[in-house]
Structure 1
Amino acid sequence: MSSIFKRIDTVFLQVSDFEQAIKWYGDVLGFKLRWKDDKGGYAALDIGETLLTLVRTNNNEKPVRKNNHISFNFYTSDIEQAHQYLVQNAVNVEPIIEDKDVKWFKFQDLEGNDLEVCYFKE
């Protein structure tokens, strides 16, 4: 534990359809809106200790993707249930991969942002 920093406060994710993204993350993933700044184009969603903050891009601006690496992942205690839930909600989901004690899968939000879910015994 750092003596200076306590935790990561938020993770930022760029979206072009701000209102639709807020709705999708709420309706499909069940994240609650903590606060929203329509003028600045930010919406913070509660998903646990670290917030997910959606950032509205300009209409002509594409979200920046620097590489093929996932920037963050969601942890679940039941990866099969999480996978099935997303499939049932018509989310673009890849198969579950297992490597020793870790399982994970990738999925995409409504704008094609690559996201990941992981499981390991705590």
Structure 2
Amino acid sequence: MINKIGKITVYVQDQEQAKDFWLNKMGFVLKFEQQMGPNAKWIEVGPSEDEFTTLILYSKSLMEKQNPSAVAHPSILFSTTDIESAYEKMKQNGVEVEEMMRMPYGTMFKFNDQDGNSFMLREDK
């Protein structure tokens, strides 16, 4: 049946600001971009060219018109193999990060995007 997570939608106020955040602060790559009428684009970004799973940076105001109940806070947990390096790099890039949490089941921290959406980064070894 299902063998991969394909796309995760993040609803954003300004698609260009969101694209800038993910490409220039987080080091993601632009996987796909296409105009969707006069006021919105379909924008997909991912951690690398080879990664299958992408984030769709979708217009929050457009989705609120299309399906208001769909606009919810995303719950996304990203993975890294070097949490210390990722934490320092994100801080250097001006990403709002919270304190590192060192738990028996893993080390992780929360970070926010340009719209204040909260995400988690966890070390997987």
Query: Structure 1-normalised TM-score?
Result: 0.83
Q: Give me the CA root mean square deviation.
A: 2.1
Cα deviation for residue 6 of structure 1 reads: 1.6
**Contact kept? 2:21, 2:114, Cα under 8 Å:** yes
Give me the whole-angstrom Cα distance separating, in 1, the residues matched to 2:79 and 2:33: 25
State the partner residue of 1:23: 20
Q: Pick the structure with more helix per residue.
A: 2
Cα deviation for residue 120 of structure 1 reads: 3.2
The AA in structure 2 aligned to 1:96 is M
The AA in structure 2 aligned to 1:44 is E
* Counterpart among 100, 107, 114 of residue 110 in structure 1: 114
List alignment gaps of at least 5 residues for structure 1: none
Query: How is 1:55-94 mapped onto 2 (pairs within 5 angstroms)?
Result: 55-58=58-61, 64-65=71-72, 71-94=75-98
Aligned-pair identity (%): 29
What are the Cα deviations for residues 56-104 of structure 1, in whole angstroms up to 9, with x where unaligned?
1228x699345xxx61111011101111111111211101101114000
State the partner residue of 1:43: 43
Query: Structure 2-normalised TM-score?
Result: 0.81
Q: Does residue 1:54 correspond to 2:57, yes or no?
A: yes
Q: Does residue 1:7 correspond to 2:10, yes or no?
A: no
What are the Cα deviations for residues 33-70 of structure 1, in whole angstroms up to 9, with x where unaligned?
111122253211122231111111228x699345xxx6
Q: Secondary structure at the match of 2:56?
A: strand
Give me the whole-angstrom Cα distance separating, in 1, the residues matched to 2:6 and 2:95: 27
Give me the whole-angstrom Cα distance separating, in 1, the residues matched to 2:25 and 2:93: 7
Aligned residues between the structures: 114
Q: Does residue 1:95 correspond to 2:99, yes or no?
A: yes
